[in-house]
Copies of this chain bind each other. A is one copy, B any other.
């Protein structure tokens, strides 16, 4: 029997073949090759437009809209940026958002209390806790406290367990869902491809490996302790990198014509820019485009699609709650 998650893949495959629309052929390479730059912003726009239509239909049909509860602890600058992006995206598609801000030094019980209220609120269909949390809080236990039925980040162990077992979890984590969406829209074959996932973070690397396995890929997961990673990456048809080390993956690590999904996004000092930095991925972009057939840029690749998947999960949850089809 084909694992049930494959049906998700097949469903996604019914999208019109948008890869010509959403990737820009890059033809002026020194070696005369072309490399498609996968345009995450454009894909995200397309997804959000479909979500907005769907939410409009819900509002017109039953007078309701999806709601997303966001818990933010402390004042980390990167977390505040992510929250701003998520709030703007909610507004664009018509999802109501409820931000609960807690001080840096709040207690575990105070976080539980806020999460608990969002879990019980019938206007809230998705609950996310912006990670990372301050060191004194037990992040795992807080994530586990989010109701699995509202876990739109898909990080509750029950949902991860279902994903691992090839069963339909209530929610697929956003970054892995974005990764699959990008590959499918690029027209990249996943089943039986050799895929290397670099990194095994709970948010991205780990669930990506699990999801790709459900899509019948042959997956090798590499991490900080893996020796000679370039030997393995050079054999991969698809590379997904989620290590957070700027430019770690060099051109000679890649197989010609491979597809690269770069989940990395680190600030790197850049005095030539007014802000003093630029956002850089895990893959050395200038070298990679000379070798591979397609790549996601950083920024503007996986990031925007990941946020649109959060919106998609929230709508899915609201539809379930309202029994709206």
User: Is A62 in the interface zone, CB < 8 Å from B?
Assistant: no
Bitwise, A203-244 to B at CB < 8 A (1) or not (0) is: 000100010010010111111011100001000000000000
Bitwise, A145-179 to B at CB < 8 A (1) or not (0) is: 00000000000111111111111000000000000
User: Is A191 in the interface zone, CB < 8 Å from B?
Assistant: yes
- Could you pull out 13 A-B pairs where Cβ atoms are within 8 angstroms? A140-B167, A157-B162, A157-B164, A161-B164, A166-B200, A166-B202, A166-B206, A191-B225, A192-B225, A200-B213, A218-B220, A218-B222, A220-B232
**Which secondary structure dominates where chain A touches chain B?**
mixed
A165 contact from B191, B206, B222, Cβ within 8 A = B206
Closest to A224 in B: B216
Are A225 and B221 in contact (CB-based, < 8 A)?
A: no
Closest to A222 in B: B218
| In the complex, chain B residues whose CB is within 8 Å of the CB of A219 | 220-221
Complex: A140 Cα to B162 Cα, angstroms: 10
Contacts A157-B165, A158-B161, A206-B164 given; does A218 touch B226 at CB 8 Å: yes
Total interface residues on A, CB under 8 Å, equals 32
A161 contact from B160, B216, B218, B227, Cβ within 8 A = B160
| In the complex, chain B residues whose CB is within 8 Å of the CB of A162 | 157, 161
Chain A interface residues toward B at CB < 8 A:
140, 156-167, 191-192, 194, 200, 202, 206, 210, 213, 216, 218-223, 225-227, 232
| In the complex, chain B residues whose CB is within 8 Å of the CB of A163 | 164
Q: How close is A1's CB to chain B, nearest CB, in angstroms? A: 11
Are A202 and B165 in contact (CB-based, < 8 A)?
A: yes
Are B218 and A213 in contact (CB-based, < 8 A)?
A: no
| In the complex, chain B residues whose CB is within 8 Å of the CB of A223 | 213, 216, 218
Complex: A194 Cα to B221 Cα, angstroms: 10
Complex: A165 Cα to B218 Cα, angstroms: 20
| In the complex, chain B residues whose CB is within 8 Å of the CB of A156 | 161
Closest to A227 in B: B192
Complex: A206 Cα to B5 Cα, angstroms: 15
Contacts A157-B162, A162-B157 given; does A216 touch B221 at CB 8 Å: no
Candidate in A165, A220, A222, A226 with the most chain B CB atoms within 10 angstroms = A165
Candidate in A164, A167, A213 with the most chain B CB atoms within 10 angstroms = A164
Complex: A159 Cα to B161 Cα, angstroms: 7
Complex: A165 Cα to B200 Cα, angstroms: 9
Are B165 and A226 in contact (CB-based, < 8 A)?
A: no
Q: How close is A139's CB to chain B, nearest CB, in angstroms? A: 11
| In the complex, chain B residues whose CB is within 8 Å of the CB of A161 | 156-162, 164
